[in-house]
Structure 1
Amino acid sequence: MKVICDFTQSKRLHVDGGGFETLSCFLPIMGKPFLQHVLEYVSRLGASSLVLFLSGNADRFERFVGDGERWGVKTSYHLVKEGVSVHERIRNAAWMGSQEMFLLCNNAYLPCIDETHMHEPARFVLENGTETGWLLGTKAHMSSDATPLRATVVEALHVGSAQSYLDALARVLGRRGGPLVVLGKELRPGVWVGPGTRIHPTCTLTAPVYIGSQVNLGEHTIVGPDSEIGSGCIVDNESNIIGSSILAGSYVGKHLDVRGCIVNQNTIFNAQLNSAYVAVDEILATSVESEDDSIRVLKIPLGSRLVACMLGVATLPLYIAVLLVNALVYRRKITRLTVVSMRQSAAEETIVSEPGLTLTIPILRHRSEMCKGVRSHALWVLLPGLWTIVRGKSRFFGIPYRTREDFGKLSIDWQNLYLKSNPGIITEADILYDEHPEEEMLFASEMYYRVVDSFAYNRRLFLRYIKALFTGHNS
């Protein structure tokens, strides 16, 4: 069955005097964008191919959906001008048979339909008569003078407004989400917590609540019910998050009471008042990437370089042995990678495909090849990396360098995070995971480190790294 996706009317949360940067279809529910839930759902309904009609933000949708492999379907794209009728384009499409049945969907609603609804042409409406924009029909039903399709009343999740999004989130967390499958590790019934999350013993979690990976919940914080906190967030001491959604990479300051809101870094959207507030004081809410953009110079402390030099000299026999094993046993040489330098201007709205500053560093193994924990990391990454520190091109702890190719594959937020961060030979993910983590986990760990980066925290990382070296087990 063909599924035609009309994504030409994608909405942003909007109020007088400003808007919300995130498209509403990309707002998260249980750690996934609403759009992903839509695509997964139509795939379960039996979609064999997706035909996407796009207008604004076409590049973003195409990057997210890709070739459809992750959904198990084939995809094709059609770009239309604003104001052009998608129904008319479908009616005149040569690629669609005149009697071929298809499902028309959008990214604002997700109706609770199943296979029993997929036999007869129908349009799907809410109990109050509101059209969801979803229908099952043929090209003939796209004509303006065609007999109206039979209306089938269904329940649906809706993200067209801030309040409807929070209502949808509460329904899904309460297992009343209809077509959405609730997955994840439950700390206890109704409380989902991602890996690497730190919860202070005095924090109160009230079900239902979903907490992503690498989240830090401070002392005497209250989270829930009906709340979601995205990966890499920090909720500082004595703050409450109730009936709200905190998007990935956001920092909520001390002593705040966040109710019925969506927080996206430094923008707070109050659903009941339909108003947005941009915080200019980091005490309230900020991005985990916030920093004085005028500071661009990477400075490696002289002490770190001296320590790296002494360690390099002390381990030189071991390093030479590793080089010989690498050359004679694995038939590999030292690879000199050209990587994107950090501490340079970051992107605003578009991806930086050609970052200006690069440098060359030696490596023996790429991190994605590492699968045996910290000990393997020490041999293949740390030993050659010591001389990168001596040269003043990296710190002991930070975020790993990336090649131009790897940099170009990152999301806009991740590129901005990378360009404003400090490079390091040892990373948060190296200590947390025995195997190379998935992209989401890697992003979350880098966001978290970006916020907590300090001498005291790096000292803790050092102790955890030494412990893992002796025990053979990552944190």
Structure 2
Amino acid sequence: MQAIIFANRIGDELAPLDQHYCPALLPVGNKPVIEYTLEDIATSGISEVKLIISSQAQEVEQQLGDGERWGIRIEYFLSKPQEKTKSVLNRLSLPSNESILIIRGDIFRSPCIASFINFSRQFPNEFVQAKMANENAGMSMLPAAQPYLDGIDWPLINHGENNSVVTLVLHGLCNMLDSFQAYLQVNLSLARNDIPALTPMERSFTSANPEQDFYVGAKADTQGLDKQHAWGIIGENSKVDPSVEMKNTVIIGNDTLIDKGSVLESCLILPHTYVGEGLEVNNSILCKNLLINLNTDGHILVDDQALIGPSQLEANIIPSQTHFMTRLFILAILLISLPFWPLLATYSLIRVLLLKLKAKPIIQEMINDNLGQSLVVYSFNTPTRIISLLPQLCLVLTGQLDLFGAPAQIRYASGQNKHRLGVFGPVQLLLDEDAPEEERSLLMLEFDNNSSNTKYLSLLKQSLFMPKALHSQESVNKAIY
């Protein structure tokens, strides 16, 4: 049996936390939530997994790898953000007579997959609906679930009382992670050992609380936990000053620094976060420079690094990723092509006049470069994209753009700061300016995850012989694959 895990949810209901994590990678007890599903999958005996990912595909694949550490094999498939289940499955060309588990990997549930599979096998021709804590547990079994696939789309829906539906009530916790309160509560439940069959992996340290202990990760610098009237989880490589006071349940992520005199109570501090001296945090979620107050459901971005911020300051200037020899080659191309630029400008003018185009012969745009600065760029109004973008190669020489990368104008629903910006890329060369934002994002994701050594050469070759008006999705797919 194989499993298809859907982890393509955007998580905009958790904004602005979604700018740092997609739901599948949200840490629960310092472990991404999708890893709990993978562990449960492996325990159930399933070894083949198709993982449906979207806007943060690279981060998911980097975190999970090929699945070897769980004894499974993961095969990744890209989808549009929150694309309908039926649409994705149609593209996978699945066997029609094979039992296949479909499950959401971006919600938290107690271990239950083996029980669900064993129960479903008793009703091979019936749709089995799993409920846990009165919630849709986000699991189905093909082919019986074929008419009910909308139930696993986000947000999840229950099919109610239907004679053709068999309902399995499972015991345990099912959390949709669809609000700040829900996200905090699942972490607190794990820290309090309220979830059957799940215990934090860190070492146990006695606290002053007679009922609960602390779980502390490797290389964490903590002193005096036995005097704290609190309990919780402290992640790897984190440091908590001895003068810090903790109350109730506290979860501290990996690589986190809590400075002296701080007071933490019923809070969740996500990895790579610094909490400054004397700061009081109560019923809140902290993520780098983002503070979410759960008393008011409001959030603020803190600019003062002395209060909260990344535990290791990120460099403001990202060095160019374009190789020195490549930049020399680009310089040679610019020197050779420079005498032809007046001819290209003249051609662009004649084309605009003859075709009565609304655009100007020389197109001017304002963009943000790789250094976070705004600047004006120019391009020729020619039908061949690679030629029209020649003036922007100057920015590659200065390190402001890469040769290949996402367009500087692109806007992603999430993860927008994690893409290097470039002059050439599949969006710039293969899509029209009026292409839907969803199509632009998906195309960029597909190209980023293509591991072929010749993908850049194929892209340039394709763009040379593809006029702007003739771009089609079929041509795009050929260029990518």
* TM-score, normalised via structure 2 length: 0.56
Structure 1 equivalent of residue 201 of structure 2: 183
Q: Offset of 1:82 from its aligned partner?
A: 4.2
Indicate conservation of the 8 Å contact 2:5/2:104, yes or no.
Answer: yes
Indicate conservation of the 8 Å contact 1:30/1:210, yes or no.
Answer: yes
Structure 2 equivalent of residue 38 of structure 1: 37
Q: Offset of 1:8 from its aligned partner?
A: 1.8
Q: 1:87 to 1:151 in 2, by over 3 A?
A: farther
Q: 1:25 to 1:270 in 2, by over 3 A?
A: farther
Structure 1 equivalent of residue 97 of structure 2: 98
Is the counterpart of residue 124 in structure 1 residue 115 in structure 2? no
Structure 1 equivalent of residue 234 of structure 2: 211
C-alpha separation in 1, matches of 2:41 and 2:301: 36
Q: SS of 2:144's equivalent?
A: helix
Q: 1:81 to 1:209 in 2, by over 3 A?
A: closer
Q: 1:178 to 1:90 in 2, by over 3 A?
A: farther
Match of residue 173, structure 2, among 156, 160, 163:
156
Indicate conservation of the 8 Å contact 1:41/1:179, yes or no.
Answer: no
Question: 1:363-393 CA distances to partner (integer Å, 9 max, x unpaired)?
Answer: xxxxxxxxxxxxxxxxxxxxxxxxxxxxxxx
Q: Offset of 1:285 from its aligned partner?
A: 0.6
Indicate conservation of the 8 Å contact 1:41/1:180, yes or no.
Answer: no
C-alpha separation in 2, matches of 1:268 and 1:20: 13
Q: Offset of 1:208 from its aligned partner?
A: 2.5
Q: Offset of 1:91 from its aligned partner?
A: 6.2
Structure 2 counterparts to residues 38-117 of structure 1, below 5 A:
38-82=37-81, 84-90=83-89, 93-113=92-112, 115-117=114-116
Question: 1:99-157 CA distances to partner (integer Å, 9 max, x unpaired)?
Answer: 424242331232442533322332222444x323223x222312259975322233334
Q: 1:110 to 1:144 in 2, by over 3 A?
A: closer
CA RMSD of superposed structures (Å): 3.3
Count of residues in correspondence between the two structures: 302
Q: 1:290 to 1:65 in 2, by over 3 A?
A: closer
Is the counterpart of residue 194 in structure 1 residue 217 in structure 2? yes
Q: Offset of 1:264 from its aligned partner?
A: 1.0
Amino acid at match of 1:153: V
C-alpha separation in 2, matches of 1:105 and 1:150: 19
Question: 1:332-384 CA distances to partner (integer Å, 9 max, x unpaired)?
Answer: xxxxxxxxxxxxx338xxxx865879xxxxxxxxxxxxxxxxxxxxxxxxxxx
Q: 1:222 to 1:106 in 2, by over 3 A?
A: same
C-alpha separation in 2, matches of 1:70 and 1:354: 34
Gaps of 5+ in 1: 294-344, 358-411, 416-475
Q: 1:279 to 1:167 in 2, by over 3 A?
A: same
Amino acid at match of 2:291: I
Q: SS of 1:102's equivalent?
A: strand
Question: 1:254-299 CA distances to partner (integer Å, 9 max, x unpaired)?
Answer: 2222122111111112234222211111232111233784xxxxxx
Is the counterpart of residue 276 in structure 1 residue 275 in structure 2? no
* TM-score, normalised via structure 1 length: 0.56
Gaps of 5+ in 2: 121-127, 150-161, 207-211, 326-414, 419-481
C-alpha separation in 2, matches of 1:53 and 1:148: 28
C-alpha separation in 1, matches of 2:324 and 2:313: 22
Q: 1:160 to 1:353 in 2, by over 3 A?
A: farther
Q: SS of 2:58's equivalent?
A: helix
Is the counterpart of residue 143 in structure 1 residue 143 in structure 2? no
Indicate conservation of the 8 Å contact 1:10/1:108, yes or no.
Answer: no
Is the counterpart of residue 346 in structure 1 residue 318 in structure 2? yes
C-alpha separation in 2, matches of 1:356 and 1:228: 45
Q: Offset of 1:211 from its aligned partner?
A: 0.9
Structure 2 equivalent of residue 220 of structure 1: 243
Q: 1:248 to 1:13 in 2, by over 3 A?
A: farther
Q: Offset of 1:213 from its aligned partner?
A: 2.5
Q: Offset of 1:252 from its aligned partner?
A: 0.6
C-alpha separation in 1, matches of 2:246 and 2:33: 22
C-alpha separation in 2, matches of 1:185 and 1:11: 32
Amino acid at match of 2:191: L
C-alpha separation in 2, matches of 1:276 and 1:91: 40
Q: 1:202 to 1:105 in 2, by over 3 A?
A: closer
Q: SS of 1:226's equivalent?
A: strand
Indicate conservation of the 8 Å contact 2:51/2:75, yes or no.
Answer: yes
Q: Offset of 1:183 from its aligned partner?
A: 2.2
Structure 1 equivalent of residue 428 of structure 2: none
Moved segments of 4+, more than 6 Å: none
Structure 1 equivalent of residue 283 of structure 2: 260
Q: 1:114 to 1:104 in 2, by over 3 A?
A: closer
Indicate conservation of the 8 Å contact 1:14/1:20, yes or no.
Answer: no
Match of residue 169, structure 1, among 158, 162, 187:
187
Indicate conservation of the 8 Å contact 1:224/1:241, yes or no.
Answer: yes
Indicate conservation of the 8 Å contact 2:132/2:174, yes or no.
Answer: no
C-alpha separation in 1, matches of 2:20 and 2:48: 30
Indicate conservation of the 8 Å contact 2:4/2:101, yes or no.
Answer: yes
Structure 2 equivalent of residue 455 of structure 1: none
Indicate conservation of the 8 Å contact 1:217/1:235, yes or no.
Answer: yes
Question: 1:78-102 CA distances to partner (integer Å, 9 max, x unpaired)?
Answer: 2223464223543675333424242
Structure 1 equivalent of residue 423 of structure 2: none
Q: 1:176 to 1:55 in 2, by over 3 A?
A: same
C-alpha separation in 2, matches of 1:82 and 1:27: 17
Structure 2 counterparts to residues 445-464 of structure 1, below 5 A:
none
Q: 1:87 to 1:353 in 2, by over 3 A?
A: farther
Q: Offset of 1:53 from its aligned partner?
A: 1.7
